Amino acid sequence: MAGLMVSFTIHAEQFPVNLGTLLTEEEITRANITIYPDGQNLPNGQGSVLEGRKLYNDQCAFCHGESGTEGPAHRLAGSIGLFSIWDPLRIKRIMEVNGLLVMSTGQQWPYATTIFDFVRRAMPHPTAKSLSNNQVYAITGYILYLNDLVGEQDLIDKNNLPQIEMPAFKRFVHAQ
Ligand code: HEC
């Protein structure tokens, strides 16, 4: 027992606990990447749906499918939740969730701003945070386009993104 204590003490001296330093204001601002439903915290910049198409095809389509419905990763567009015979993922999904409910990002998420937040912090897997803000605006626009929520010629920015009404908005209860 005494031997154990001694060896622990030696190790603690060799490897002191490093609690780090306080973040500067600038570092705190940079780390605060949460985007709120009303668009609060959206960065400056903009991206076009057309640019988003190219980025999406290069960096996202092989996991989410060319039209956002084919998978293998989570579907981003399409289904309103109920299966139909046109559903390209129906066999796989029937096995996974017994054919009851499968919704896409476009049909399930109540706020368009959340797409920006999620893509910027978590995609493209596995090189998350490799996209610039403008690229994230463009790709967000393209995902919205795949869901028929914006036009092909649209430009997305911090002013118009929070204005887009998602189909799922009315399926949620919202705090006043
Ligand atoms: C290597 C595969 C891969 C690539 C490439 C990829 N994704 Fe994903 N994506 C995933 C997986 C897996 C998930 C599910 C993650 C989870 O639920 O935690 C996901 C989830 C998502 C979601 C959330 C879906 C939901 O409704 O829950 C969005 C939005 C998304 N990805 C967008 C993108 C975009 C945009 C790109 C390209 C910039 C991209 N992904 C590239 C694998 C990938």
pLDDT in tens, 72-119: 888 898 765 555 555 655 555 554 554 444 578 888 899 999 999 999
Residue 14 pLDDT > 90: no
**Structure tokens given for 155:** 């430009």
Q: What is the pLDDT of residue 10?
A: 58
Q: What is the pLDDT of residue 103?
A: 72
Our CA angle for 26, 42, 114, nearest 5°, is 120
Highest mean pLDDT out of 7-16, 49-58, 62-71 = 49-58
**Structure tokens given for 131:** 């996209």
User: Ligand 1: which atom is nearest the Cα of residue 55?
Assistant: 38
Q: What is the pLDDT of residue 139?
A: 98
Give the mean pLDDT of 1-9: 52
Number of residues in the chain: 176
What band does 17 get if pLDDT is binned at 50, 70 and 90?
Answer: confident
Mean pLDDT of the chain: 84
Residue 170 pLDDT > 70: yes
Distance, in Å, from the CA atom of 131 to the CA atom of 126, rounded to the nearest integer, reads: 12
What pLDDT digit, counting tens, does each position of 113-132 carry?
999 999 999 999 999 999 99
Q: What is the pLDDT of residue 95?
A: 47
CB-based burial, 35-53: b 16+ in 10 Å, e otherwise: bebebeebeeebbbbebbb
Distance, in Å, from the CA atom of 13 to the CA atom of 92, rounded to the nearest integer, reads: 56
Q: What is the pLDDT of residue 83?
A: 52
The amino acid occupying position 12 is A
Closest CA to 123 of 140, 111, 107: 140
> Residues lining ligand 1, CB < 6 A?
59-60, 63-64, 73-74, 76, 105, 108, 115, 118-119, 123-125, 139
Distance, in Å, from the CA atom of 155 to the CA atom of 20, rounded to the nearest integer, reads: 42
Distance, in Å, from the CA atom of 140 to the CA atom of 121, rounded to the nearest integer, reads: 13
CA of 123 to the centre of ligand 1 (A): 6
Do 146 and 60 touch, CB atoms closer than 8 A?
A: no
